[in-house]
Structure 1
Amino acid sequence: MSFENPDFLKKKYQDLHTAKEVERAALNTERSVGEDVGQNPADRIQNYLDRLERLALDPDKEQPRAEMFGGESRPRALSLLREMVMNRYIRPHQEKMAEGAARVEERAAREMGLEAHYGEQELEQRGDIAVEDLEKSLDQWISYLSDANEPYPVWFRYYAFRNVLDLGDYDKDKGEFTKRSPGSFHLFPDIDRGALAYVQQMIEASKDKAVLERLQQAQKSAALENIPDEQLITQAKAKQFANLSFAKQYAEAIKQSGEITPEMREETRGAWVKYQKDTDPTALWASLQSKGAAWCTKGFGTAQTQLQGGDFYVYYTLDKQGKPTIPRVAIRMQGDNIGEVRGVLDNQQNLEGNMIGIAEAKMNELPGAEKYKQASSDMKQLTSLEKKTKAGEQLTKDDLVFLYEIDHPIEGFGYQTDPRIKEIRDTRNPEADMLMVFECTPQQIAHNPQQINESTKAYVGPLVQQDEQGKTIPIFELFQQYSLEHLYTSFPEGKIRQYNVAIGVKNKAQLKQELDAKNIHIYDWANDLLESKDFTTLKTPEQANLARLTVKDLGFPQGATTDEIYQRAQELGLELCPAEVGPHFRLSYTGRDLSYTGRDWIGIGMKQIVDRGGYPGVFSLGTDSALLALDANGARPGDGWGPGGGFVFCLRKKLET
């Protein structure tokens, strides 16, 4: 039987076919295609999953993109889904989360002999932090499960995400998850990609005889036909597993993952093994079972899919018997080029410090290594800083500029930032480090507009402040007046990035031609704005000096409307950008200023252009690991934007004297 039609979901959720979202999907299909989905539960669920795939995964990249995940570009429908989830599961419980977190922190302070008490204002701030942290942890799940490049069928993505929302903390001693209570301030669990792959393959084995037989044969082949009966996956075991709750399935999968001990991590001797494209995945799959690698390749179906895409290399270090069996580095080829490089430092699959040189040497033998040169260089430097820190050595200015990502984000090989960055920063005093980074004294760092003068070298503080008359101080005019280079709302995370973009001279046809030549995708909505009579370009060259700000930077921690954002930007001494900044900026911006993963989104703060449907929009720059795009977003005066949304505005031109 095919597992595309998920009988599993129908049995797990017996009323799913009558759920509102499934009913709406059926109505939408009937309206758009003119076909009646019918009342068969399996057909209705499959129709719902098909619609989810089109809207949330957008495999054909038909939708305009929208800002998500603090700057990531994803299908617009997915951004709406995200807001719905946040509004239902997180934001309504902010007050309860703040109180819970505050009580825990107050108790911890008392145990240390410190006096701590949260007043009303502190509780509100703690609630903001709790919501932001929870959104980030849930965003990781949304981002991963909505990535069309990941090898999961839609039914499993739905199943995993629906249940993650109910997962509490993982108790490592008991090997189980607690149930999440409304208002919990605890983060959502980490993603263990290997465990997810295990859950998927066991559920499929419970329903699909061919999958089960394939797994059994793989187990027998890996064990040279000597596998004990109690270790063999049977249909009864698979069905028993499938009938468990997701919390128990995920916990069991984590227990099956195995562990790489500290002693194992110290070992660097080993050997590379190449698994040839289009070969049987059994050997690759078997080599990863219970070995502590959180790679999705631990799923048999995933291993098969990845080998269909290209060769697969694994570096195994020596085990206690002196045999190379411990997987430490994976290099997956996509066609003729390196597709990804992963390690086993953490669940985000970062490389361990002592594996970087080994991985780099292998990559240099393979096509496509150029893409990873910056990551290799950065990881070597990070490892050097880690060793210096452990040895108690002093860090230089160059070390700190790198550590605090002053010039560029530290690139790595995992899904998220290398955890060693935070570990090293946690040992530092940022206030003291700022002085070395900016080469200044404490008096040369201003924390409010009144402190800015001729000797100021950096500003670290809130942008929105009022004068004695209660008016917002145009702080960017002060920054320009005193030529301040280092601007932060907080150090180091709150850097205000600035860009110089050449505009003018080129007409819309030339701009579109250059975008096409650079393989930059122009979404239909952006093309609408480009083709509008209201889109014009300057005849002469000009420099647009841009400042990038989040809605939160502008003084709106809960988000704001388009009009509120534009008004505040102008109060701060900024101006709306000419519309042509959109395509010009897209041509020069790589999308890697905030994240080495290449996921980014920037809205252009510009006067709205009405599209052919009568809807006002602005240009936006969408970036992910595989796509640079010029897009557009709706920007009616009352449209709301989340606090993490980012815009660029022009610095107000200095008057000629």
Structure 2
Amino acid sequence: MKGFEFLQGKYKLNKTEESQSAARRSRIAGESLSQKPTDEIENYLNRFGEILTSSNPGRSLDAFKKILYKKLIIQDVPESYFTLQQKLARELGHGDVAVTMESREEIKRVLQEDQRTSLNLWVDYFASSDSDVYPDWAKYWAFRSMLGISSYDKKKQKFGKRSKSTTAQFPELDREALAYVVDTLNKKIQGNTVPNPVNVDEDVEEKLVSDEAFRKILNTEDFATYYAFAIEHVSADSSELLPIIEGEWRTFKKGEDALNLVQSIQGYGTGWCTAGESTAKAQLGQGDFHVYFSLNKLGKPTIPRLAIRMVDSHIKEVRGVAHQQEIDPFITPVLTDKLKDFGTEGKRYEKKSKDMQRLTEIDRRHTNGEKFTREDLHFLYEIDSEIQGFGYEKDPRILAMIKNRDKRSDIASALGIKPEQVSFTQEKALGGNIVYHDGDLDLSDLTSAEGLVFPDHVSGTIYLNKLISADGLTLPEHVGGTIDLNSLTSAKGLTLPEHVGGIIYLDSLTSAEGLTLPERVGESIYLDSLTSAEGLTLPEHVGGDIYFPSLTSADGLTLPEHVGGTINFRNLTSAKGLTLPEHVGGSINLPSLTSAEGLTFSKYVGGSIHLNKLTSAEGLTLPERVGESIYLDSLTSAEGLVLSDELIESCDAIYIPTRLLEDLRKLYPAAHFI
């Protein structure tokens, strides 16, 4: 409640149009809502959160981003910026460079893309489960505040203010600093003591920031001020010690005092949100936390380098201390060796570990002046598969190695084709005789595929979302990104690529007749309108989600052996014919299933299990482990419900009707029933 009161005092949030609109929607939906400002604010934040918890969160998030882009991304670049670019060109010895209309548009495009990219980092982070430890009011405060500031001035140790003519990117996302900021404000408004985190400088035997100065900072309750302080004094730099990899692993056990973990990593510039006490407490509530500490200048293992966060017996994330929490180039052997201790859990990270080892080896040879091999170029330009790392962004070494090279010649060399068979523009890609196109192809206004000739390989996304017929459509053999065929109502004549690295959108397809999907899909498959699985053959591997919201029967359906994300069967009322995959990394949504007859789960489900309308547990055999929650909201009896010790330990919560709580808590006292 203190958080809502804070927002009310700072923004009068309940009086805003957004808050009033949310209140109207709640009342239209028949929900009871008081006139108290804090209740209205809480309702608004709940509505705001629906963007991230809808049945299709990816699309909701994209829609939200588009709104932000329209409102916040620069549209009119000030003349002073172009003048500055001319001045810089003269100072670099390039003479008087004319700023043509074409160059103005290119400069504007680059500025807009940079702003979108920096904004996306914040949006994606707050939309991810990594930020679940923060209360909604704190997310709102941090996000709204961030939108009003620009880049950080290291000399002044402060952020500039953002306006419509600001050309700078949005502030860099430092997760460690952000965790400290939210933790500090939370303690402040709760009336708790907030200690000055700045230690005594041994050279001058006094604090670099006095307690009095720290109190002044604390009393501002200003995000930009807090964030600047955290960047300067909480996120320290120990990069000169990275070549030293000798050290030790230390395990902070589930349920352990979070301060032990926080105090061991805070102040080393890891970028880990775990450096915030509230975040560390939440994470240790879920499982063990393994940290590798390398030796400092005195030979003591104090410098945090690697983190492996567990949710019970499952690896939730692996983080390093390089850019955006990537693994630094020296420490990979330590991580590779440690992952072997986790058996099958560690194997899930094998590709990332191998990719980072290979990247480090290529970088080492490149630094020594060796030329790239054809295989190196294939890898660096991610022609066959994306280079995967452990951080939130691409490893910066990739760009550093290729940014000043002739990309066209490199790709041609990697593929054994002529440079003129590589394209970078849509016009060139569709002109014929192109083997490889680097980038997206936006054909979103096209209603017919007649005369359309694609390259063999497209690295990005193909937008054909208004195409209603596949007649005459021959897609590339390989698409690295997404294929959007959102309006296609029939698969007749459709031949999809052998490999799709992103998402396949076939939302309007009502029948699977004639549909042949790729053997492997890197992300998700959306078949929102499919009412029958007859004739449907799914890929062996789907890296993301599978959506079947309109499917009422599983007859004839064979699911992949591996689904990395969520399986959504929103309207399936019977499990007859349903065989679930051996591995499901996300949730299994069966909210309309009324009987467990014929239902067999895999041993492990990484997310939640939704069985909201199941009235009887007879015949229900749950997985051995569930990473999140189990929803059994409509059970009329506890009879037949069997919960193993392993399941109870792994599961966050089990949602059951109130009338069954007492009986089930007696049967399973260790379980967390809600």
TM-score in same-fold range (> 0.5): yes
Secondary structure, aligned partner of 1:353: coil
2:456 is the counterpart of 1:485: yes
Partners of 1:206 and 1:235 within 8 A in 2 = no
Shift of 1:417: 1.2
CA distance in 2, matches of 1:185, 1:591: 40
Alignment of 1:264-413 (within 5 A): 264-346=241-323, 348-367=324-343, 368-413=345-390
Q: 2:52 is matched with which residue?
A: 57
Aligned residue type for 1:87: K
CA distance in 1, matches of 2:546, 2:113: 18
Q: Which has the higher helix share?
A: 1
Cα distance change on mapping 1:102 and 1:537 into 2, 3 Å: same
CA distance in 2, matches of 1:79, 1:444: 33
Partners of 2:244 and 2:295 within 8 A in 1 = yes
Cα distance change on mapping 1:545 and 1:302 into 2, 3 Å: closer
Partners of 1:205 and 1:235 within 8 A in 2 = no
TM-superposition CA deviations, 1:114-164 (whole Å, max 9, x none): 243232233233323322321121111111112244221101110011011
2:23 is the counterpart of 1:47: no
Cα distance change on mapping 1:462 and 1:26 into 2, 3 Å: closer
2:3 is the counterpart of 1:12: no
Cα distance change on mapping 1:152 and 1:18 into 2, 3 Å: same
Aligned residue type for 1:89: L
CA distance in 1, matches of 2:518, 2:336: 38
Counterpart of 2:138 (choices 131, 139, 156) is 156
Shift of 1:204: 1.3
2:179 is the counterpart of 1:197: yes
Q: 1:83 is matched with which residue?
A: 66
Secondary structure, aligned partner of 2:103: helix
Partners of 2:217 and 2:226 within 8 A in 1 = no
Counterpart of 2:511 (choices 522, 531, 536) is 536
CA distance in 1, matches of 2:460, 2:224: 40
TM-superposition CA deviations, 1:354-406 (whole Å, max 9, x none): 11111121121025112101000000000011101111101111111000000
Q: 2:417 is matched with which residue?
A: 440
Cα distance change on mapping 1:545 and 1:589 into 2, 3 Å: closer
Secondary structure, aligned partner of 2:236: coil
CA distance in 1, matches of 2:402, 2:217: 46
CA distance in 2, matches of 1:200, 1:412: 27
Partners of 1:363 and 1:369 within 8 A in 2 = yes
CA distance in 1, matches of 2:187, 2:278: 11
Aligned residue type for 1:43: D
Q: 1:425 is matched with which residue?
A: 402
Shift of 1:47: 2.2
CA distance in 2, matches of 1:630, 1:439: 45
Partners of 1:29 and 1:37 within 8 A in 2 = no
CA distance in 1, matches of 2:531, 2:84: 48
Cα distance change on mapping 1:586 and 1:230 into 2, 3 Å: farther
CA distance in 2, matches of 1:301, 1:355: 28
Cα distance change on mapping 1:601 and 1:498 into 2, 3 Å: farther
Query: How many percent identity over aligned positions?
Result: 29
Cα distance change on mapping 1:373 and 1:233 into 2, 3 Å: farther
Count of equivalent residues = 508
CA distance in 1, matches of 2:189, 2:460: 54
2:167 is the counterpart of 1:185: yes
CA distance in 1, matches of 2:370, 2:17: 61
Counterpart of 1:26 (choices 23, 27, 30) is 23
Cα distance change on mapping 1:627 and 1:543 into 2, 3 Å: closer
Alignment of 1:111-150 (within 5 A): 111-114=91-94, 115-150=96-131
Larger CA deviation: 179-188 vs 336-345: 179-188
TM-superposition CA deviations, 1:585-624 (whole Å, max 9, x none): 99328666xxxxx6x999x9xxxx9999xxxxxxxxxx99
Counterpart of 1:109 (choices 89, 92, 104) is 89
2:156 is the counterpart of 1:174: yes
Q: 2:538 is matched with which residue?
A: 587
CA RMSD of aligned residues (A): 4.5
Cα distance change on mapping 1:168 and 1:590 into 2, 3 Å: farther
Q: 1:560 is matched with which residue?
A: none
TM-superposition CA deviations, 1:6-36 (whole Å, max 9, x none): 22212222x2221111112222222223424
Aligned residue type for 2:10: K
Aligned residue type for 1:311: D
Q: 1:94 is matched with which residue?
A: 75
Partners of 1:278 and 1:310 within 8 A in 2 = yes
Normalized against structure 2, the TM-score is what? 0.66
Partners of 1:288 and 1:298 within 8 A in 2 = yes
Shift of 1:270: 0.9
Secondary structure, aligned partner of 2:75: helix
CA distance in 1, matches of 2:336, 2:408: 35
Partners of 1:586 and 1:630 within 8 A in 2 = no
Alignment of 1:480-519 (within 5 A): 485-487=456-458, 497-498=478-479
Aligned residue type for 2:136: V
Secondary structure, aligned partner of 2:341: coil
Aligned residue type for 1:176: K
CA distance in 1, matches of 2:5, 2:221: 16
Shift of 1:231: 10
Cα distance change on mapping 1:35 and 1:380 into 2, 3 Å: same
CA distance in 2, matches of 1:130, 1:277: 45
Normalized against structure 1, the TM-score is what? 0.67
Secondary structure, aligned partner of 1:354: coil
Cα distance change on mapping 1:171 and 1:419 into 2, 3 Å: same
Shift of 1:340: 0.4
CA distance in 1, matches of 2:385, 2:421: 24
Asked which structure has the greater RCO (Cα within 8 Å, sep 6+), the reply is 1
CA distance in 2, matches of 1:461, 1:122: 21
Secondary structure, aligned partner of 1:338: strand
Secondary structure, aligned partner of 2:165: coil
Q: 1:627 is matched with which residue?
A: 566
Cα distance change on mapping 1:19 and 1:441 into 2, 3 Å: closer
Unaligned runs of 5+ in 2: 462-475, 484-489, 491-504, 522-526, 553-561, 572-674
Secondary structure, aligned partner of 2:77: helix
Shift of 1:181: 2.3
Partners of 2:511 and 2:531 within 8 A in 1 = no
